[in-house]
Amino acid sequence: MFRKLVPYASIMLLIFLSACVPVAAASAQPIVVPAFTQTLPPTPTFTPTLTATQVPTLAPTQLPTPTSTPELIFQGPGPIVCPILLYHHLGDTKSTDPAVTEYFVGAEQFTDEMQTLFDLGYRTITVTELVNAMRHGGNLPNKPVIISFDDGFESVNTIAYPIMETFGFVGVTYVPARVINVPGYESADELKQLVSSGWEVGSHSFSHPFLTKSDNLTLEIGGSKAIIEKLIGSPVYSFAYPYGDTNADITNRVAAYYSSGAGLGDFVRQGDKYFLSRRPVLRDTPIATFIGYLSP
Protein backbone atom coordinates (compact mmCIF):
# COMPACT_ATOMS: atom_id res chain seq x y z
CA MET A 1 0.00 0.00 0.00
CA PHE A 2 2.89 2.30 0.65
CA ARG A 3 4.40 3.92 -2.45
CA LYS A 4 8.16 4.12 -2.96
CA LEU A 5 9.44 6.76 -0.54
CA VAL A 6 12.59 8.87 -0.37
CA PRO A 7 14.74 7.83 2.66
CA TYR A 8 14.93 10.30 5.49
CA ALA A 9 18.73 10.28 5.76
CA SER A 10 18.88 14.02 6.25
CA ILE A 11 16.42 13.83 9.14
CA MET A 12 18.29 11.02 10.87
CA LEU A 13 21.48 13.13 11.01
CA LEU A 14 19.68 15.24 13.60
CA ILE A 15 19.51 12.32 16.10
CA PHE A 16 22.33 12.26 18.67
CA LEU A 17 23.46 8.73 19.43
CA SER A 18 23.85 6.88 22.73
CA ALA A 19 23.57 3.31 23.98
CA CYS A 20 20.34 1.38 23.65
CA VAL A 21 18.65 0.16 26.87
CA PRO A 22 18.78 -3.62 27.45
CA VAL A 23 15.46 -5.33 27.75
CA ALA A 24 14.13 -7.79 30.29
CA ALA A 25 12.28 -11.00 29.68
CA ALA A 26 8.50 -10.83 29.49
CA SER A 27 5.67 -13.07 28.39
CA ALA A 28 4.94 -13.05 24.67
CA GLN A 29 2.10 -10.90 23.40
CA PRO A 30 -0.51 -12.16 20.94
CA ILE A 31 0.17 -11.55 17.27
CA VAL A 32 -2.69 -10.71 14.95
CA VAL A 33 -1.87 -9.86 11.34
CA PRO A 34 -4.30 -7.93 9.10
CA ALA A 35 -5.22 -9.36 5.73
CA PHE A 36 -3.35 -6.69 3.82
CA THR A 37 0.40 -6.29 3.35
CA GLN A 38 2.44 -3.24 2.53
CA THR A 39 5.61 -3.16 0.43
CA LEU A 40 8.18 -0.63 1.57
CA PRO A 41 11.69 0.34 0.47
CA PRO A 42 14.45 -1.37 2.47
CA THR A 43 15.29 0.02 5.88
CA PRO A 44 18.50 2.10 5.87
CA THR A 45 21.61 0.19 6.86
CA PHE A 46 22.78 2.77 9.40
CA THR A 47 21.81 2.10 13.00
CA PRO A 48 21.31 5.11 15.28
CA THR A 49 21.21 4.38 18.99
CA LEU A 50 19.07 6.51 21.25
CA THR A 51 18.83 7.09 24.96
CA ALA A 52 15.63 5.63 26.32
CA THR A 53 13.96 8.10 28.62
CA GLN A 54 11.87 7.49 31.70
CA VAL A 55 8.23 7.06 30.71
CA PRO A 56 6.60 10.23 32.04
CA THR A 57 3.79 10.31 34.55
CA LEU A 58 1.37 12.60 32.80
CA ALA A 59 -1.11 14.89 34.43
CA PRO A 60 -4.73 14.36 33.33
CA THR A 61 -5.42 16.39 30.21
CA GLN A 62 -8.46 18.45 29.35
CA LEU A 63 -11.12 16.30 27.74
CA PRO A 64 -12.72 17.60 24.54
CA THR A 65 -15.94 19.54 24.84
CA PRO A 66 -18.53 17.76 22.70
CA THR A 67 -21.87 19.21 21.69
CA SER A 68 -23.36 17.75 24.86
CA THR A 69 -21.30 17.46 28.03
CA PRO A 70 -20.56 13.80 28.88
CA GLU A 71 -20.96 12.41 32.36
CA LEU A 72 -17.50 11.93 33.86
CA ILE A 73 -16.84 9.14 36.31
CA PHE A 74 -13.67 8.09 38.11
CA GLN A 75 -12.26 4.93 36.52
CA GLY A 76 -9.17 2.87 37.31
CA PRO A 77 -6.51 2.30 38.35
CA GLY A 78 -6.52 -1.07 36.65
CA PRO A 79 -8.39 -2.44 33.63
CA ILE A 80 -10.94 -0.14 31.98
CA VAL A 81 -13.68 -0.94 29.47
CA CYS A 82 -12.89 1.24 26.44
CA PRO A 83 -13.43 0.11 22.83
CA ILE A 84 -10.56 1.15 20.54
CA LEU A 85 -11.58 1.30 16.88
CA LEU A 86 -8.98 1.16 14.11
CA TYR A 87 -9.26 2.73 10.66
CA HIS A 88 -6.75 2.91 7.82
CA HIS A 89 -7.88 4.58 4.58
CA LEU A 90 -10.98 6.76 4.33
CA GLY A 91 -12.66 7.45 0.99
CA ASP A 92 -12.79 5.56 -2.29
CA THR A 93 -10.14 3.50 -4.04
CA LYS A 94 -9.56 2.52 -7.66
CA SER A 95 -8.12 -0.82 -6.62
CA THR A 96 -10.06 -4.01 -7.37
CA ASP A 97 -8.03 -6.11 -4.92
CA PRO A 98 -10.37 -7.12 -2.05
CA ALA A 99 -7.39 -7.22 0.34
CA VAL A 100 -6.90 -3.51 -0.41
CA THR A 101 -10.45 -2.24 -0.87
CA GLU A 102 -11.74 -3.65 2.42
CA TYR A 103 -9.53 -1.16 4.27
CA PHE A 104 -11.08 1.85 2.49
CA VAL A 105 -14.03 3.10 4.57
CA GLY A 106 -16.24 5.58 2.75
CA ALA A 107 -17.00 9.01 4.19
CA GLU A 108 -20.73 8.22 4.46
CA GLN A 109 -20.09 5.00 6.35
CA PHE A 110 -17.62 6.74 8.65
CA THR A 111 -20.12 9.53 9.36
CA ASP A 112 -22.82 6.99 10.21
CA GLU A 113 -20.45 5.23 12.59
CA MET A 114 -19.49 8.47 14.36
CA GLN A 115 -23.18 9.38 14.63
CA THR A 116 -23.90 5.96 16.11
CA LEU A 117 -21.19 6.38 18.71
CA PHE A 118 -22.51 9.79 19.65
CA ASP A 119 -26.14 8.63 19.83
CA LEU A 120 -25.18 5.69 22.05
CA GLY A 121 -23.48 8.05 24.48
CA TYR A 122 -19.83 7.30 23.65
CA ARG A 123 -17.33 10.11 23.93
CA THR A 124 -13.74 10.05 22.72
CA ILE A 125 -10.52 10.09 24.68
CA THR A 126 -6.89 9.67 23.63
CA VAL A 127 -4.74 6.61 24.29
CA THR A 128 -2.62 8.52 26.80
CA GLU A 129 -5.73 9.61 28.73
CA LEU A 130 -6.78 5.96 28.92
CA VAL A 131 -3.34 4.80 30.05
CA ASN A 132 -3.12 7.53 32.69
CA ALA A 133 -6.41 6.29 34.15
CA MET A 134 -5.22 2.67 33.98
CA ARG A 135 -2.07 3.64 35.90
CA HIS A 136 -3.40 6.12 38.42
CA GLY A 137 -7.18 6.36 38.03
CA GLY A 138 -8.92 9.41 36.62
CA ASN A 139 -12.13 11.02 35.43
CA LEU A 140 -13.24 9.66 32.05
CA PRO A 141 -16.51 9.79 30.13
CA ASN A 142 -19.03 7.24 31.32
CA LYS A 143 -18.66 5.44 27.97
CA PRO A 144 -15.17 6.19 26.62
CA VAL A 145 -14.08 5.21 23.12
CA ILE A 146 -10.85 5.72 21.18
CA ILE A 147 -10.82 6.32 17.41
CA SER A 148 -7.42 5.39 16.01
CA PHE A 149 -5.91 5.53 12.54
CA ASP A 150 -2.88 3.64 11.24
CA ASP A 151 -0.38 4.36 8.46
CA GLY A 152 -0.59 8.18 8.32
CA PHE A 153 -2.78 8.60 5.25
CA GLU A 154 -3.80 12.16 4.40
CA SER A 155 -7.49 11.17 4.50
CA VAL A 156 -7.22 11.32 8.29
CA ASN A 157 -6.99 15.10 7.92
CA THR A 158 -9.14 15.64 4.84
CA ILE A 159 -12.03 13.29 5.71
CA ALA A 160 -11.92 12.01 9.29
CA TYR A 161 -10.94 15.21 11.06
CA PRO A 162 -13.79 17.47 9.81
CA ILE A 163 -16.39 14.74 10.37
CA MET A 164 -15.20 14.05 13.90
CA GLU A 165 -15.06 17.76 14.69
CA THR A 166 -18.84 17.99 14.17
CA PHE A 167 -19.29 15.55 17.07
CA GLY A 168 -16.60 17.06 19.29
CA PHE A 169 -14.52 13.92 18.82
CA VAL A 170 -10.74 13.57 18.89
CA GLY A 171 -8.61 10.70 17.62
CA VAL A 172 -5.17 9.14 17.60
CA THR A 173 -3.13 8.87 14.41
CA TYR A 174 -0.25 6.39 14.34
CA VAL A 175 2.24 7.44 11.67
CA PRO A 176 5.28 5.64 10.25
CA ALA A 177 7.99 8.29 10.55
CA ARG A 178 9.21 7.65 7.02
CA VAL A 179 6.00 8.79 5.30
CA ILE A 180 5.58 12.19 6.98
CA ASN A 181 5.55 14.95 4.33
CA VAL A 182 5.27 12.40 1.51
CA PRO A 183 2.42 13.20 -0.95
CA GLY A 184 -0.71 11.26 -0.01
CA TYR A 185 0.33 11.03 3.64
CA GLU A 186 0.06 13.40 6.58
CA SER A 187 2.44 16.34 6.64
CA ALA A 188 4.16 17.65 9.75
CA ASP A 189 1.93 20.75 9.62
CA GLU A 190 -1.21 18.60 9.44
CA LEU A 191 -0.04 16.57 12.41
CA LYS A 192 0.61 19.77 14.35
CA GLN A 193 -2.94 20.90 13.57
CA LEU A 194 -4.34 17.66 14.96
CA VAL A 195 -2.30 18.01 18.15
CA SER A 196 -3.55 21.58 18.60
CA SER A 197 -7.12 20.24 18.27
CA GLY A 198 -6.67 17.72 21.08
CA TRP A 199 -5.64 14.71 19.00
CA GLU A 200 -2.73 12.42 19.84
CA VAL A 201 0.06 11.51 17.41
CA GLY A 202 1.77 8.17 17.96
CA SER A 203 4.54 6.24 16.25
CA HIS A 204 3.79 3.37 13.88
CA SER A 205 7.51 2.55 13.51
CA PHE A 206 9.90 4.05 10.95
CA SER A 207 9.16 1.96 7.85
CA HIS A 208 6.20 -0.29 8.84
CA PRO A 209 7.94 -3.70 8.86
CA PHE A 210 7.04 -6.90 10.64
CA LEU A 211 9.03 -6.06 13.75
CA THR A 212 9.76 -9.69 14.58
CA LYS A 213 11.62 -9.89 11.25
CA SER A 214 13.36 -6.51 11.48
CA ASP A 215 17.12 -6.24 12.04
CA ASN A 216 16.94 -2.57 13.02
CA LEU A 217 14.59 -2.33 16.00
CA THR A 218 16.45 0.69 17.39
CA LEU A 219 15.49 2.74 14.35
CA GLU A 220 11.97 1.35 14.09
CA ILE A 221 11.06 1.88 17.75
CA GLY A 222 13.23 4.58 19.35
CA GLY A 223 14.34 6.29 16.14
CA SER A 224 10.79 6.76 14.86
CA LYS A 225 9.84 8.50 18.12
CA ALA A 226 12.78 10.91 17.84
CA ILE A 227 12.01 11.74 14.21
CA ILE A 228 8.31 12.39 14.77
CA GLU A 229 8.94 14.52 17.86
CA LYS A 230 11.47 16.58 15.91
CA LEU A 231 9.03 17.13 13.05
CA ILE A 232 5.93 18.04 15.05
CA GLY A 233 7.53 19.64 18.12
CA SER A 234 5.42 17.56 20.53
CA PRO A 235 6.16 14.47 22.63
CA VAL A 236 5.12 11.04 21.36
CA TYR A 237 3.92 8.70 24.09
CA SER A 238 2.27 5.80 22.25
CA PHE A 239 3.45 3.17 19.74
CA ALA A 240 1.36 0.92 17.46
CA TYR A 241 2.88 -2.39 16.36
CA PRO A 242 2.67 -2.74 12.56
CA TYR A 243 0.36 -5.69 11.79
CA GLY A 244 0.01 -6.22 15.55
CA ASP A 245 3.35 -8.08 15.34
CA THR A 246 5.39 -8.21 18.55
CA ASN A 247 7.14 -10.46 21.04
CA ALA A 248 8.61 -10.11 24.54
CA ASP A 249 11.80 -8.39 23.35
CA ILE A 250 9.97 -5.90 21.14
CA THR A 251 7.39 -5.09 23.81
CA ASN A 252 10.11 -4.39 26.36
CA ARG A 253 11.92 -2.13 23.89
CA VAL A 254 8.68 -0.23 23.33
CA ALA A 255 8.21 0.11 27.09
CA ALA A 256 11.63 1.81 27.33
CA TYR A 257 10.45 4.68 25.09
CA TYR A 258 6.66 4.87 25.31
CA SER A 259 3.90 4.77 27.91
CA SER A 260 1.72 2.45 25.80
CA GLY A 261 1.70 0.02 22.90
CA ALA A 262 -1.31 -0.63 20.65
CA GLY A 263 -1.97 -3.98 19.02
CA LEU A 264 -4.96 -5.74 17.47
CA GLY A 265 -7.72 -7.70 19.16
CA ASP A 266 -11.43 -8.10 19.68
CA PHE A 267 -11.82 -7.33 23.38
CA VAL A 268 -12.74 -3.94 24.88
CA ARG A 269 -11.63 -4.38 28.49
CA GLN A 270 -8.19 -2.83 28.33
CA GLY A 271 -5.78 -4.32 30.84
CA ASP A 272 -2.37 -4.46 29.14
CA LYS A 273 -0.87 -1.02 28.56
CA TYR A 274 1.62 -2.47 26.06
CA PHE A 275 -0.87 -4.45 24.01
CA LEU A 276 -4.05 -2.40 23.88
CA SER A 277 -6.74 -4.21 21.90
CA ARG A 278 -7.91 -2.41 18.75
CA ARG A 279 -10.69 -3.63 16.44
CA PRO A 280 -10.22 -2.85 12.71
CA VAL A 281 -13.28 -1.34 11.02
CA LEU A 282 -13.62 -2.42 7.39
CA ARG A 283 -15.51 -1.24 4.32
CA ASP A 284 -19.26 -1.94 4.35
CA THR A 285 -19.26 -3.15 7.96
CA PRO A 286 -22.97 -3.41 8.87
CA ILE A 287 -23.95 -0.94 11.56
CA ALA A 288 -25.23 -3.78 13.77
CA THR A 289 -21.80 -5.42 13.54
CA PHE A 290 -20.14 -2.09 14.31
CA ILE A 291 -22.28 -1.72 17.46
CA GLY A 292 -21.21 -5.23 18.46
CA TYR A 293 -17.59 -4.09 18.40
CA LEU A 294 -18.36 -1.85 21.36
CA SER A 295 -19.61 -4.58 23.71
CA PRO A 296 -17.44 -6.19 26.42
- 269 in any annotated domain: yes
Mark residue 220 as left, alpha or beta (left: phi above 0; alpha: psi -120 to 50; beta: remaining). alpha
Task: Kindly state the greatest CA–CA separation across the chain.
Answer: 52
Q: What is the DSSP string of 36-54?
A: -----PPPPS-----PPPP
Q: What is the predicted pLDDT for the residue at 68?
A: 54
- The angle formed by the CA atoms of residues 158, 163 and 167, to the nearest 5 degrees, is 150
Q: Is the pLDDT of residue 85 over 60?
A: yes
Mark residue 251 as left, alpha or beta (left: phi above 0; alpha: psi -120 to 50; beta: remaining). alpha
Q: What is the predicted pLDDT for the residue at 100?
A: 86
Q: For 259-286, what is the mean pLDDT? A: 97
CA-CA distance, 268 to 252, in Å (whole number)? Answer: 23
Residues 171-187: tens digit of each pLDDT: 999 999 999 999 999 99
Q: What is the predicted pLDDT for the residue at 69?
A: 64
Host domain of residue 134? 75-292
- 267 in any annotated domain: yes
- 19 in any annotated domain: no
pTM: 0.79
- Identify the CATH number of the domain in which residue 254 sits: 3.20.20.370
Residues 9-57: tens digit of each pLDDT: 444 434 433 333 333 333 334 434 343 334 444 444 334 444 444 444 4
Residues 159, 160, 163, 164, Cα dihedral to 10°: -160
- 32 in any annotated domain: no
- 222 in any annotated domain: yes
Residues 216-249: tens digit of each pLDDT: 999 999 999 999 999 999 999 999 999 999 999 9
Domain count for the chain: 1
- 229 in any annotated domain: yes
Do the beta carbons of residue 191 and residue 175 sit within 8 Å? yes
The model's confidence at residue 205, banded by pLDDT at 50, 70 and 90, is very high
- The angle formed by the CA atoms of residues 224, 184 and 202, to the nearest 5 degrees, is 30
Residues 93-141: tens digit of each pLDDT: 878 888 789 999 999 999 999 999 999 999 999 999 999 999 999 999 9
